[in-house]
Each structure stands twice: as structure tokens, then as C-alpha cells.
Structure 1
């Protein structure tokens, strides 16, 4: 082999190698990093979807829980991973919309450090009150709060969490004032609401719906644009006293920036097919998650809109974390 022939062969290998790897993708298991502890709503959603994606991609999609710093630790791990499609993130409203405004030191850029893959599901929040408050609608709650500024407390899962900021947005849009009581998680917060120690809470619908059905709390309205199929009798906040109000949790797959588009497209199609599967949709609906399955471009637009929405809310709330 001449020197020129050898150089041409090397160049061809360098060009064709990555292309073949993309065509052959995936040829080994994929790690789906969930940036929160096992057992939470993001983890549950991830495991339901990962099982179906494993079937579709014919490679195991392994859920890897990397909790800490409100989701920042797990998200940062993916941002720094090789852009080969074998380490991806189950991102949320926290990791890609709220934390960038909440934390003074971010270990990643939510836009520049990630390649959007697919918005998989939306999860409604719900406004709940203790029965002793004697309100049945959002309009009645707003009227009560306006007549008693600063008198009533609302519980959340912690400072700067989506549940805290759902309450802060409610205060801002309704022109009312409540006292925020942060807890170390939604579970302890709900215990105090059920007992009546705190009268109001903005919670994820999956964890609240059992208490609503038992009557231990009163569900006033869901926070999404449309009513939830899991609780069709509950109106939306927007249609019951606060037009334009909308908050919800969401789960989406992100890959590290620089991941080849061919791999992004394969992952996006697999994610969309997974959440469109009738059995998966039923499992997700059972925990009040609404299937979406967007394109990468649609997820990119969604993140941009969410950053613009939550930045001012975080600032107005005064919440800030120095980590």
C-alpha cells in the first residue's frame, strides 16, 4: 500500500466511522439519568417510558437516579457526558426553567449545553385547601385571601420548587398575599395540610388526587390550560377566576450538546412512539401524566418559553439558592 493510499484509507475510515456508529445506534445500553431520588413522579414516569423505549430501540434504557441540588447534579452529569446518545437526561421544569433563575451558580447552561430530544409528558398541579377553610372554588379562595392579606399560609415542597413558585405566580396574578411555608418535600407538606395546620397547597395532581377523592382535602382547580382526564370534574384555575394562569410539571429527554442529529431523531421517535403506546398512555394517565411526544424543535421552543415565564416569577418570589 502506497503512502497516498494509506492516507486515503485513513481519511475514509475517519469519515465513515462516525456515520456507521450513528446508523448502528444504539448498539449498547443507554443510561437515562433521572436527576431526582427514586420514587418521585419524575422517576415513575421515566421507568414507565424507559421500559417501552427499550423494546422500541432493542437496547436496554437504564434509569440512573442522580439526585441533588434540585436536579442540577444529574443534569450537569449529562451536560458533561460524551455526545454519543448513550447518556441522556430526563429533564424537568426545575432543571431547564426554574433552576437557572433560582441558583446563583449553575453548573450548566440549560440551552447551550443540551440537545433537545422530546417533550414526553405534562403533569398537572392542583390547588387544594383544607375543608375547614370553607371554600369550594378558586373565586372563593381569591375573595378570602383579598379580604385577609397575609393571614393564610400555603405549603410547598421547598423554597424555589415548582410548587412554591406555582403559589408565588398565583399571588402575583390574583393580587393576593399568603405566607409561604416550605417543607422538605411534598409528602411532609401534605401531612400538615391534611391535618389542617396549613390550609392551602399547590401540589402535583398524582400525589394529591387520593386525598381529594377521600375528602381529606378539597380540590379547587387544576393548574393546566385544559382539564385533566384524571380529574375531569375539576375546573382549571384559568376558567375559574384567574384567566391566563397556567403551571405544570413536565418531563423531557435531553442529550448532551453536539450529539449527532441522526441519533437525536432516533431517540425522539422512540420517545414519541413510547408515550403513544396505548398501554403506556394508560399507565401514565393513571398517575395523571398527559402524553405529548414532541419533536426536538418543539422541545427547544418549549424550553425557551418556560425560561421566559419562570425567570420573572423566581425573581418576584425573592427565592435564591447559593450553591
Structure 2
């Protein structure tokens, strides 16, 4: 009996010993991070956090790494220089991968060569808005009215933007070019000061982000004349596109996910599958809709081609505007 107890104990101890290496060698699940090139609290940061939460069931822990500064160039450069192992993603934006290559004489990254596309995340419409009091005073009720007034009163209109080379500035220059009108550009130090300038009557119209402009549109302080997307938007279906008056006019705000160049193709596909599934989920659609944002899941190839087209479009627009940042 005693011998049998010793045998059982020996077997148990041997089994425990065999199990120990497996426990001691087990590795914790890898953490994925998304480098957001702007400060916490903004729309890009908020949407990135929504997605990080939505993919945790597939990818595990996903953290947000905010790297603001230099108009987004610091964070984008950090993402480009990360290891190409699929554990670091960056956010590509209209500015970083569309405008900045032509606006800056030198960038710390190459938007075409330093990244592989994963998926576009979303698109946010922009809207041409006027100060409501100014629109009433000048009897401007539509985009056609604005163009007609500008042609009949050359040099009397101005428009504001968040600064030279900003999306609002370039949209304004594209509008002037296609409508064959003149309006003086008034650059502000950021989107919020530009909107305050419009609300106070310092400028006559702006091209603003719909999410930012919506509260003042609903309160009656701003009058929307047209959205800059090719089609009407669900949030304000009564507002026509600029393209209805100026065919081919299309400009909106977008951002998406990229990884460092050299990331294995199968890893990119895995990330694409996880994030596009999340972007199609009802919960993400609902949360994005509250920000006036439309999910835009895509294949890596589609997003790569889209960014190339955007670079080509903004190259022309930056040249028209004459904007430069050195």
C-alpha cells in the first residue's frame, strides 16, 4: 500500500514537472497599437478608439498612441518607422497622404513608399456655409446665388479657412477656379478660429467640416449652400452637392489605416479583415453617424489607389492655391 502511494506521488510530481515548462514559457498576447498623429479628443482620435474597441474580440488588446505635432507629421513619421510586424498601424489622413506632399518642401516620410494600405476608415462631408445674416442681407439662398453675386460684385466677398494649405483653403481655391470668381482668402490659425470668424461676420463663407458646422446650421447661425461630396449626404439630404452646379467638384475629409512598408501581405490581409468587419458593424455605423462620419471599408488595393488619386488631385489644388509650408 505504501509502495503504491509512493508510485502515485511520483507520477503526480513528474506530471507537474512536465507541465511547468509550458507554463513558464507561455507568452502574453501581443498588443496592437494605432498611432494617432493628433491629440486625444479630436474626431480622428475618437473614431480610432471606437475601432480599437470593436476589434478587440479579433485582435486582442489594441491601444491608441497619440503622437501630435507638426500638423500630424510627427505621428505619421513614427508609424512609418515602426517595425513591419503588423503590431503598429498609423492613421493616414487627407492632409498627411494627400495635401502635405505638395505643401511641404520636405517631409519626414514618403506617403507613397513608406506605408502599405490596410483600409479606409471613413469619409466626412464638408459643407460650404455662409453667415446666415450675411446671406439674408445679400439675398443669397443658393450656390448659384453666391456665384452670381461674386461675379456681379468682384472683390467684395471673402472666405476663411484654418490656415494656408488647409483643406478649407484648398476647397475654396478649387471653388473659385471652377466658378471663375474671386473671393479673398482669410487664413486663421485653426478651424475653430475660422468658424468664429464666420459666425462674427468677419468673413462671408467657409468650407467647413459638416460635423463641426452642423450645430450652428441647426441653430440657424450658418446657412448651408452645398456639400462637397459627389452626392447628397444622409445627415442633411436637403443640401445639394457643389457638383450639381460645378460638375466634377468633389472634396471631403477622410482617414484610414496603414502599416509600415514591408509588413507581410498575409498580416495586412488579417488586419484588413478585422477592421473592415468592425466598420460594417451596426454599432460602429451608429457611433460614426453621431460624428457625421460614414464608414468606408475597402480592400488594401482600393485604399492604395484612392490615396494615389487624392495625391494627384491635391497636387493640382496646391499649385492653384500657391500655398507652401517650408
What TM-score, normalized to structure 1?
0.89
Q: Please tell me whether the aligned partners of residues 221 and 234 of structure 1 are also in contact (alpha carbons under 8 angstroms).
A: yes
Please give the residue correspondences for 1:82-101 in structure 2 after superposition, counting only pairs within 5 Å: 82-101=83-102
Give the 5 Å matches for 1:40-79: 40-57=42-59, 59-79=60-80
* TM-score, scaled to structure 2: 0.88
Secondary structure at 1:238 match in 2: helix
What's the secondary structure of 2:53's corresponding residue?
Answer: helix
Q: Deviations over 1:88-110 (max 9, x none)?
A: 11111101010000000111111
Separation in structure 1 between the aligned mates of residue 81 and residue 154 of structure 2, nearest angstrom: 46
Determine the C-alpha separation between the residues in 2 that align with 1:166 and 1:228. Answer: 18
Please state how far the C-alpha of 1:27 moved relative to its aligned partner.
Answer: 3.4
Deviation at 1:187?
1.1
Name the structure 1 match of 2:145.
Answer: 140
In structure 2, which of residues 262, 274, 296 is the aligned counterpart of residue 270 of structure 1? 274
Equivalent-residue separation in structure 1 for 2:87 and 2:169 (angstroms)? 34
- The correspondence for 2:211, drawn from 190, 202, 206, is 206
Cα RMSD after superposing both structures:
1.3
CA distance in 2, matches of 1:247, 1:76: 25
Secondary structure at 2:55's aligned position in 1? helix
SS in 1 for 2:216: helix
Q: How many residues align?
A: 295
Structure 1: distance between partners of 2:116 and 2:29: 21
Question: Based on CA coordinates, which of the two structures has the bigger radius of gyration?
Answer: 2
Distance 1:138 1:296 in 2: 37
Query: Is the aligned partner of 1:28 residue 2:30?
Result: yes
2:233 matched residue in structure 1: 228
* Alpha-carbon distance between aligned partners in 2 of 1:257 and 1:86, rounded to the nearest angstrom: 13
Matched, 1:163 2:168: yes
Query: Could you tell me how far apart the structure 2 residues matched to 1:170 and 1:45 are?
Result: 29
> Contact 2:135/2:223 (CA < 8 Å) preserved in 1?
no
Give the 3 Å change call, closer, same or farther, for CA 106–48 of structure 1 in structure 2.
same
Structure 2 residue runs without a partner (length 5+): 1-27
